[in-house]
Amino acid sequence: MNELRASIDIGSNTTLLLAGIVKNGKLENELLNLSTVTSLGAKLDQTKKFQNESMDATFEALKNYLSECEKLGIHKNDILITATEASRVATNAPEFFAKIFQELGLKVEVISGEKEAELTTKGVLSDLKTKDLYSIIMDIGGASTELIHYGHQENKILESYSFKVGAVRYYDWMAENNVTTKCSLLGLDRISHFRKNKIIAVAGTMTALAAVYLNLKEFDEQKINGMKLTISHLRMLSLAISKTTEEEMVKHYPYLGKRAKTLYAGSLVAILFAEHADVEEFEISTRGLRYGTLIHGIN
């Protein structure tokens, strides 16, 4: 039986939409894949609240996504919406999501770090071909980074951990000149549990860095998905980005949009985790939470 549905991932930096036809537990046909930088996690550590500008941007993105889904014949009840770390922290998240339900009829599910790891893994596995006994998956978001140890023989997650640092949070720490202090509180020694010379990297920061590394003028999932990026190449790329203004980045890579603001910070987060996990190479995956949610549902 074919099922036409959509998933929306309300992250700390971006709000993502994926719509498609699911058949027998597989994504048979991808119909729509949209991304909007809404920066919902901006200034979260200082205020513990969503900023009005970010809420407005997220609301407009959801309103637009609902319209696009309706054009495809997808009922709002068949739009599965997850919200992650920023929504777990923000004290005004319940009020904001109540407004979304009242005005748009869309129900937002704030999921735990464990559920996020589970659904992200399911998304990655939906397109992963490997003979390895286990995989380490890294998901750099706006406010958190998940590390997932998945055993292929056991067919389950063996361990996962959510570190409270992401591209937006790190950017804010840099602006406060407070990176060293904040990082000292993250428990980075735990990263050693996830040591492997290759990590599968998902989510917007790493896919954007991969696109810039390939010097793509337009974002192309087919070229990015499965590509390899060594830690030495990432360090060189990070240095180059640090010497380039936000305006220049957007001019050369228009698809970055507002993400250009936090991309350098995101690259430093990736390098931080790579150094603690002895990573030599990243394998980039364009699949993740929204794919796992679309194919398997939230519960």
What does pLDDT average to over the chain? 92
Q: Is 156 exposed, middle or buried (0-12, 13-18, 19+ CB in 10 A)?
A: exposed
**266-275 as b/e, with b when 16 or more CB fall inside 10 Å?**
bbbbbbbbbe
Which tens digit of pLDDT belongs to each residue from 151-161?
A: 998 989 999 99
* pLDDT tens for the 299 residues of the chain, in order: 459 999 999 988 889 999 999 988 889 899 999 989 898 888 888 899 999 999 999 999 999 999 999 999 999 999 999 998 889 989 999 999 999 999 999 999 999 988 988 999 999 988 888 778 899 999 998 888 999 999 998 989 999 998 999 998 999 999 999 999 999 999 999 998 888 888 999 988 999 999 999 999 999 988 999 999 999 999 999 999 999 999 999 999 999 988 899 999 999 999 999 999 989 999 999 988 999 999 999 88
What DSSP string describes 85-136?
HHHHH-TTHHHHHHHHHHHH---EEE--HHHHHHHHHHHHHTT-----SEEE
For the chain, domains (ranges, CATH) are 2-113+290-296 (3.30.420.40), 128-284 (3.30.420.150)
Do 212 and 241 form a contact (C-beta atoms < 8 A)? yes
The torsion defined by the Cα of 250, 82, 107 and 143, in degrees rounded to 10, comes to -60
Sheet containing strand 156-163, edge to edge, reads 156-163, 145-151, 134-140, 198-202, 281-284, 228-230
